[in-house]
Amino acid sequence: SGGDGEGTVYKVGIDTTYPPFEYEENGEYHGIDIDLFTAIAENQGFEFEFDAMDFGGIIPAMEAGQLDVAIAGMSITDERKKVVDFSDPYFDAGITLVVNKDNDDIESVEDLEGKTVAVKNGTTGAKFAMDNADKYGYEIVQFDDSPAMFQEVSNGNADALLEDYPVIAYAIAQDNLDLKIVGDRLNGDQYGIAVIKGENQDLLEKINAGLQELRDSGEYDKIVNKYLGE
């Protein structure tokens, strides 16, 4: 990114605790979301800069006018559609239940009675946990970022966590965490790129056009395979 003095430089919110979608390494941002947004902007000819923050701060920052756009492994939900407009979906995710790899008692959300469930502030996982806490009878403990939440279950302080399937599968494979995924995905969440509701319609059109061109050209698959392909 970085402007040449012409036109708008869009501020793009990201969550750099979220590999393989977004992470920081040696002072640089990497991941599917990073490469995808960069390619869309190049394809459509607009300028931007990334602004990393806790996921739970992204939508509030958009509402406050501090961000124009967000790409943050953000799931498209009806609740969020009240405050942001989403691009076409660009990735199938879905929440899954995760426990310590030595835990054989919890096989589904129905086994969570009296247990502690770790979630990340502002996420669809946190919302799922809150919506179902009375039904299944567990306590919730909240974290600001995914690695802190993973540690809590890895070290046995909490019994389970909720995270998006592609993110936790990648973390388990990469980081040797003492965690395992149990059961099927709990929903069919899809990721979208968000802009402030009712504003930036031009930008949203460019994002959708760029996304489609990258899919048609095979560039989208290249980006995903760079991080997830074997």
- The nearer residue to ligand GLN, 123 or 154, going by C-beta atoms, is 123
Q: Does 194 bind ligand GLN (CB under 6 A)?
A: no
Q: Does 164 bind ligand GLN (CB under 6 A)?
A: yes
Q: Which of 53, 59, 62, 74 binds ligand GLN (CB under 6 A)?
A: 74
- Phi/psi for 199 (5° steps) reads -120, 170
- The whole-angstrom separation of Cα 140 and Cα 161 is 9
Q: Does 100 bind ligand GLN (CB under 6 A)?
A: no
The dihedral built from the CA positions of residue 143, 149, 155 and 156, taken in this order, carries a sign that is positive
Q: Is the separation of the CB atoms in 67 and 11 below 8 Å?
A: yes
Q: Does 166 bind ligand GLN (CB under 6 A)?
A: no
Alpha carbons within 13 angstroms on the beta-carbon side of residue 145 total 13
Least separation in angstroms between residue 93's CB and ligand GLN is 6
Instruction: Label residues 198-227 b or e (16+ Cβ within 10 Å = b).
Output: eebeebbebbbebbeebeeeebbeebbeeb
Q: Does 210 bind ligand GLN (CB under 6 A)?
A: no
Q: Does 33 bind ligand GLN (CB under 6 A)?
A: no
Q: Does 72 bind ligand GLN (CB under 6 A)?
A: yes
Q: Which residues bind ligand GLN (CB under 6 A)?
A: 15, 18, 55, 72-75, 93, 120, 123-124, 164, 189
